[in-house]
Structure 1
Amino acid sequence: MKTGMTIPFMEPGWNRQQMKAWAETIDSGPWSSLALGERITFFNPEFITSLAACAAWTTRVELISTISVLTMHNPVLMAKQFATIDLISDGRLTVGVGVGGRKEDYDAIGADWGKRRLAVLEDSCNTLRRIWKGEQVLENARRIVEPLPIQPGGPKILSGSIGPKSIEAAARFSDGLSGFSFMASLDEIRQSFQQMNAAWQNAGREGKPRLIASFWYGLEQKGKEQMQAHLQRYLNFMPKDLVASLLPEAGFNGSANDLKDFLAEIQAMGADDVILVPTSRNLDEIRQLAEVLSV
């Protein structure tokens, strides 16, 4: 099992030097992947621009979008943008996609909330793949949409699916699951893997789906306090009383060694990757965690 690291862009206060330092630190190891997600009406730097910058600042790690709200965008433009990032990264991009859950983000960019449907997501993913294979998107167009990705046929597509219906759809159109456990629950992670494996077989797919688990974490008491402060900001679209009831159970809290043991249990479930989501911009934390996980 591989272990990736998310850049916590959902924390406020980033500048160029900090962004670059995080990308380079993750690239230096032992992390297998660098992940980042998308929001519109929030603190984070713009998603595609940040992904491209990280592609330029790194040379080794896989780059994973966790996740791109694909149904909020024009899939043809997204295909071109992702292909460009694959070019910049020399073929290190994996595209995690989903429908998102914030109507405010859709509204802010004039996107149609009515397109937040699994059928639209599947169709958009098919569009990405057609373009990446060099197929025409317009009849009698003078050229195809380029550049073509470095990876033949384009980057792998993972689905940020939660729940049986979403996972069933993901088994039809994606290359695997980019899952997220709000509570960092072993039972929840195990169930999502089992559902994906079953849906994959039912869909008549060959081989196996890639299985990724992800969750917020905070180390020790200080990390727990930081994680709760982060989530109070990040979950601002939810009613305050609901957020207050969820905070004590959200994410993983413990020592670095506790986290190492927790990852071992996820590995035993058949996970291909775990992508950790820190809630602090403190780079020393992931450096210290890297030392523990490398032992």
Structure 2
Amino acid sequence: MAMKIGLCFPYTQESLDRDLSLEWFKRVDEGPFSTLSCGERMIGTSVDMMALMGAAAAVTSRVRIVPTLYVLPMDPAVKVAKHAATLDLLAGGRVSITVGIGGRVWDYQCMEKEPVARYARMDEQVAQIRRVWAGEIPVEGGEPIGPALVKPGGPPILAGVMGPKATARAAKWADGVYSWSGNGNGEEMRVQQARVVEEWEKAGRDTAPERVAGFWCASGPNADENLKNYVYKYIKVLGEGPAKAMAGMVDRSTPDAIMQSLDAYEEAGVEECWLNTATADLSEIDGIEDIIAKRG
């Protein structure tokens, strides 16, 4: 089966408003895309992931809705369980969720959480989410947490992990893995996908992992400039040096370059690729649709 392609909503863009957001939802839902995702950040210009995904779930009818990702150690597990179940209700069972530890200490500080023991906390939080979905009462004297699940067991849970230790941990509880290479590097993705398969085998899992991945790209006017500016702004919070280095490296800004990465991802075993576009301009969707048509 050919690799599916989804889009990440351009959640950090200052140009967003109601009409543009609704048009994005409509275009993705009516287009050749498999998934609409959205990231979670606190600092910066981003919209709220939970609110945005709720709106998308309510006004779409086909495309899969995937929060990507809940920075789980900074969020209450019961709240995430309730939000994901509500999201799936609004979407009519089209939701999967992705969880990870995030990379910005400032987001944790905004949420009044310490960024310590994050992987261990995430392991326990995933277990807690599934207990909530199973109807376990989370506090003495309380009641089960609703709403009722649309599908048995709740939405599938993907792990946003990359390294060996993190992947090994995720293999014990995740339904799949969301992998990442900022510039769509085929060799990086080959290594990550081989690791996912290996760790699932070591964990003795009887079901194969869902294998999803993503990269940054630009396909509209002034694509190269837009891509470099976007990546610089996105990384700048980590320092001027890293931001300039990453912005200088990214070049998935032509149809051929994007196609090259998509082909490499598919060859590495990725089943679905979620593209993160550099702007919220609708020309980004036009460009990706053309690329999908050319891939056949």
Q: Tell me which interval the TM-score lies in, with the shorter structure as reference length.
A: over 0.9
- The one-letter amino acid paired with 1:137 is P
After superposition, the Cα gap between the structure-2 partners of 1:290 and 1:220, relative to the gap in structure 1 and judged at 3 Å, is closer
2:138 counterpart residue number = 137
Secondary structure of the 1:214 match is strand
Pair 1:288-2:287 in alignment: yes
Give the deviation of 1:94 after TM superposition.
0.7
Please give the alpha-carbon distance, in whole angstroms, between the structure 1 residues aligned to 2:60 and 2:190. Answer: 32
User: 1:213 aligns to what SS in structure 2?
Assistant: strand
Q: Read off the aligned partner of 2:149 and give its amino acid letter.
A: P
Alpha-carbon distance, 1:139 to partner: 3.5
Q: In structure 2, which of residues 45, 49, 72 is the aligned counterpart of residue 47 of structure 1?
A: 49
Structure 1's 224 and 30: CA in aligned 2 closer, same or farther, altered over 3 A?
same
Hey, what does 2:119 align to over in structure 1? 118
Q: How far apart, in 2, do the equivalents of 1:181 and 1:289 lie?
A: 18
- Check whether the contact 1:133–1:148 (CA below 8 A) recurs between aligned residues: no
Q: Tell me the C-alpha RMSD between the 2 structures.
A: 1.5
Aligned length: 292
After TM superposition, give the deviation of residue 252 of structure 1 in Å.
2.0
Relative to structure 1, is the Cα distance of residues 77 and 3 closer, same or farther in structure 2, using a 3 angstrom cutoff? same
Counterpart in the other structure of 1:149: 149
* Distance in 1 separating the partners of 2:290 and 2:232: 30
How big is each residue's C-alpha offset from its partner over 1:166-205, in whole Å with a ceiling of 9 and x where there is no partner? 1111111111111111232101111111001100010111
What is aligned with 2:93? 91
- Partners of 2:163 and 2:279 lie apart in 1 by 28
- What CA deviation, in whole Å up to 9, does each residue of 1:112-169 have, x standing for no partner? 2225x2111011111111111222222443x210102212110000011021111111
Deviation at 1:239, TM superposition (A): 1.8
Q: Find the counterpart in structure 1 of residue 7 from structure 2.
A: 5
CA–CA distance in 2 between the matches of 1:261 and 1:185? 9
Identity %: 28
SS in 1 for 2:222: helix
* Pairwise CA distance, 1:291: 2.9
1:73-222 equivalences under 5 Å are 73-115=75-117, 117-141=118-142, 143-219=143-219, 222=222
Aligned counterparts of 1:10 and 1:243: Cα–Cα separation in 2: 16
User: Tell me, what secondary structure is at the counterpart of 1:18?
Assistant: helix
Cα pair 2:186 2:268 within 8 Å, conserved: no
* Alpha-carbon distance in structure 1 between the residues aligned to 2:119 and 2:29: 33
Gaps of 5+ in 1: none
Query: How many angstroms does 1:262 deviate by?
Result: 2.9
Q: Is the 8 A contact 1:136 1:145 kept in 2?
A: yes
Shift of residue 220, structure 1, vs aligned partner: 7.7
| Partner Cα distance (1:56, 1:176) in 2 | 25
Give the SS at the match of 1:64: strand
CA distance in 1, matches of 2:132, 2:220: 47
- How far apart are the structure 2 equivalents of 1:8 and 1:138? 37
Q: Is the 8 A contact 2:134 2:153 kept in 1?
A: yes
Measure, in 1, the Cα distance between the counterparts of 2:280 and 2:80.
28
Match among 58, 61, 64 for residue 62 of structure 1: 64
